Amino acid sequence: MEEFLKNIHFMLLDPERFPVAMAAWLLAGIVGMVTGPMHGNANPFLWLVFDKTLGKIGGRLDKRERAGPDLLFRGFILTMMGVMAAFGIGLFATELALMKGFYGMTEIVLLSLTLTSGTVWFSLLQLYFAMRDKKVSKGAYYTIAHSTRTDLSGSDDYGITRMGMGLAARSFDKGLVAPVFWFLLVGLPGAFLYAGLAALAWRFGKDGFTKGFGKTALALEKLMGFAPHILSGILMALAGLFTPTGGMTRALIGQMFGKEKSAYEEGGLPLTAMAYSLNVSLGGPSVDLDGSGIKRSWTGAKGATARLEKGHLRRAIYISIMAHLLFMASLVGSLFWAGKIF
């Protein structure tokens, strides 16, 4: 019985996947920083594919003037199409990695399509340099607007900075920790399935303020993303320990007892940890690219400033990088625990 349980454990959580995950993160980071975002979108490549395909179909179906039950049914059908497509792509990717492995590189490249890191840092640095030079034009924040699906044309620098910092927190959760979590658990099908659901939730969920079309995608994404979301929040809080003026203790207390916390759909624990750690106020109402009002709550300690400037953005980039490094360190620690190193 003990041997059977061990076999099940290694089949579901194969230690051989850990180096693949770390290499995929490194690839996504380097390529993203070198090339920058594709089509002005810093999210994972698979999200872009879903946006260009199912996103266009859904855009014609998601009409605000329709009744809620009608939108819910239409969204359910589209989400099921997305689930089947994402899982099918994951199965195909698994077979491709087995047949054309190229010393493991195929699996690394395929997994990297569900991840993002370098493109987000590229976008935030682009905004930071523009703010430093006092030349914040549309080109400086276009990627942030597109990646968060937020209309920033009427926002001031403070609002743009808040969105950029929010992108850093949320992409760490949904563009790294969650897809890697499911890859480690069940392989490429798990990573692609989660990434597909996250893409649909991003495209149609409106941060939880959807009239009905994105509710199914949001619910399924939350179901798959709940466990890695907690891990993301813990790591973002721990990153405050290594960030200048950051506060790990503030972040952990804010996540557990803070009155101004972010709901899961609005950024959740990672966004809350960043806000409390850096002692700033994030979130707040906005308008999405479809013209819908997004009434996000404010997240952060009482009295924390929402007038965010380039210094706040620099610290957000720093804490984001530290959270990424802590996640990679946790994977290395897992390999030690599994006896795969030394």
Q: Which two tokens stand for residue 11?
A: 């089949």
Give the pLDDT of the chain (342 residues) as one tens digit per residue: 444 344 445 456 788 899 999 999 999 999 999 999 999 999 999 999 999 999 999 999 998 888 889 999 999 999 999 999 999 999 999 999 999 989 899 999 999 999 999 999 999 999 999 999 998 889 899 999 999 999 999 899 999 999 999 999 999 999 999 999 999 999 999 999 999 999 999 999 999 999 999 999 999 999 999 999 999 999 999 999 999 999 999 999 999 999 999 999 999 999 999 999 999 999 999 999 998 899 999 999 999 999 999 999 999 999 999 999 999 999 999 888 766 665
Q: Is residue 7 included in any domain, yes or no? A: no
Q: Is residue 296 included in any domain, yes or no? A: yes
Q: How many CA atoms lie within 13 A of 251 on its CB side?
A: 27
Q: Is residue 8 included in any domain, yes or no? A: no
Spatial contact of 313 and 130, defined as CB atoms under 8 Å apart: no
The CA distance from 146 to 124, in Å, is 13
The DSSP element (H or E) to which 246 belongs, if any, is none
Q: Is residue 9 included in any domain, yes or no? A: no
Q: Is residue 342 included in any domain, yes or no? A: no
Q: Is residue 6 included in any domain, yes or no? A: no
Spatial contact of 44 and 175, defined as CB atoms under 8 Å apart: yes
- The count of domains in the chain is 1
Q: Is residue 4 included in any domain, yes or no? A: no
Could you give the 3-state DSSP secondary structure of residue 19? helix
Residue 129, C-beta contacts closer than 8 angstroms, at least 6 positions apart:
none
pTM for the model stands at 0.94
Helix axis angle for 268-278 and 310-337, nearest 10°, is 120
Q: Is residue 73 included in any domain, yes or no? A: yes
Structural domain including 299 reads: 15-337
